[in-house]
Amino acid sequence: MSMASTVCSQFRFDPARHGALAALVVILCFNLIVTPNFLHTQTLFVNISQVATIAIVAMGMTIVIATGGIDLSVGAIMALSGALAPLIFLSPFGLANPGLGLAAAIIIPILAALCCGIFNGVMVSYFNVQPIVATLIFFISGRGLAQVLTNGNLQTISNPSFSYLGTGKILGLPFQGWLVLAIALVLWWLVTRSMFGRQLLAVGGNERAARLSGIPVERVKIGAYVICAGLSGLAGLIVVAINSASDAARIGSLMELDAIAAAVVGGTLLQGGRAPIFGAILGAVIIQLVKYTLLANGVADEVALIAKAAIIIGAVYLQQGRRD
């Protein structure tokens, strides 16, 4: 009892810092009481597999926002990589060499995504274009490119090895869940322990000071956009694997909003200088759960959009308060 009270006295509720956790608890409680079958493993799997793509992109977004930037092109890059994969293993080459074809179908789309990241990074760092505008270019033309490549057609695939990305299980839990964990650990190490991470946060915290201290600001920024784009590419592949189909018009549609929302809810400062990787995952879980809760309780998809908008505004508003 006395211990509990000391803990309580030390714990001062700060809506900006603990708001996300509190929100998570509230949503979980709400679901336990209201949503039918919430405690089923099926529910868990569905949510894990859906949250995985948001979380992966949100982590990349967190890295970019840490430099004080933003990446609106993540959804379009998902579409591009998602369109490329089936094109590759449905090509004559892919059909003739299933093994090589599979490898190419994973590597080439991610390479293409990385190239988009380089483009974004170069625009932002060497051409001094504001990140919103620089990434707006791919936001619109990336998806267009994907549709040009596929001629706007839906591509269905049935390749069990590739589908493992979306439907595989390890220790009974979806493969993407483990993938998210692995990526999170790597990024966490990168941000908190590596030299790149220190440079990343320094660039976001005070770019001029970072440059004066000999930090290669341009390369660091490009690195951030490349990481974000690469993760988006991977997320695109996962979506295709889950659906066993690729529709360039829909893959990753509005993902930039989910990712930004998740990053912000997770505690990333929009002006840069912080990169809470696990916060991004927490944010993604909250976004996903809100979506799921509304859906499971018969609220229309469209209303969920409005709810998401409210979450973004609320999270950023609380964050502004913390800055002052």
Partner 1 sequence: MLDNTAFDLRRYLQGGGHSYGVWLALIALIVFGVLRYENFGGAYNISSFLNYNAMFIVISVGMCFVILTGGIDLSVGSVAAFTSVVAAYLSPMGLQVALPGAVLAGLAFGALNAFFVVAMNIPPFIATLATMLGAKGGALVISGAQTISIDWTSNFTKLGMEQVWGILPWTIVITVLVVAALWIVLERSSLGRVVLAIGGGEDASAMMGLNVTRAKAFVYILSGGCAGLAGVFLASGFGAGQPLEGVGWELSAIASVVVGGTLLTGGMGSVTATVAGALLLGLVFNILNFENGRGTISLSAYWQMVIRGGFLFAVIILQSRLARAAQKELH
Partner 2 sequence: MTDLIEMSGIGKAFAGVVALRDASLAIRPGEVHAIIGQNGAGKSTLIKILTGVYRRDEGSVQMAGEDLTISTPREAQDAGISTIYQELSLVPLRSVTENVMMGYEPRTRLGLIDWKAAHARTREILARFGVEIDVTRQLGRYSTAIQQLVAIARAVSLDARLVIMDEATSSLDDQEIETLFSVVRELKKSGVAVLYISHFLSELYEICDRVTIMRDGRTVATHEVAQTTRLGLVSEMLGRDASEIAAAGQTALSGERSKPGATLLEVDGLGTRTGLRDVSFEIRKGEIVGLGGLLGSGRTESARAIFGLDKLLRGEVRHHAAPVIDTPARAIALGMGFLTEDRKADGIIPHMSVRENITLALLPRLRRFGAVDRARERELVQGYIDALQIKTSGMEQPIRELSGGNQQKVLLARWLALEPEILILDEPTRGVDVGAKFEIQSIIRNQVAKGLAVLLISSEFEELVEGADRIVVLQDGYSVTELQNPGITESALIGAMVHHHERLAS
Distance separating alpha carbons of residues 101 and 106, to the nearest angstrom: 9
Binding to partner 2 by residue 198, rule CB under 8 A? yes
DSSP 40: S
Chain residues 19-78 in contact with partner 1, contact rule CB under 8 A: 70
Q: Residue 298: CB partners within 8 Å, gap ≥ 6?
A: none
Among 202, 255, 259, 262, binds partner 2 (CB under 8 A): 202
Which of the choices partner 1, partner 2, none does residue 144 contact, using the CB cut-off of 5 to 8 A by kind? partner 1
Chain residues 78-137 in contact with partner 2, contact rule CB under 8 A: none
- Contact predicate 278/291, CB 8 Å: no
Q: Looking at beta carbons only, is 2 or 302 nearer to partner 1?
A: 302
**Cβ-based neighbour number of residue 46 at 10 Å:** 15
Least Cα distance to 113 among 208, 275, 252 occurs for: 252
Stretch that binds partner 2, among 16-24, 137-145, 172-180, 190-198 (CB under 8 A): 190-198
Which of the choices partner 2, partner 1, none does residue 216 contact, using the CB cut-off of 5 to 8 A by kind? partner 2
DSSP helix/strand/coil, 173: strand
Binding to partner 2 by residue 213, rule CB under 8 A? yes
Binding to partner 2 by residue 250, rule CB under 8 A? no
- What are the CA-CA distances from residue 74 to residues 11, 103, 226 (Å)? 37, 23, 11
Binding to partner 2 by residue 209, rule CB under 8 A? yes
Binding to partner 1 by residue 244, rule CB under 8 A? no
The number of residues that bind partner 2 (CB under 8 A) is: 23
- Contact predicate 272/66, CB 8 Å: yes
Binding to partner 2 by residue 148, rule CB under 8 A? no
Given the DSSP bridges, would you call strands 245-246 and 169-170 parallel, antiparallel or unpaired?
unpaired
Which of the choices partner 1, partner 2, none does residue 296 contact, using the CB cut-off of 5 to 8 A by kind? none
**Chain residues in the site for partner 2 (CB under 8 A):** 189, 193-196, 198-199, 201-202, 205-206, 208-216, 269, 273-274
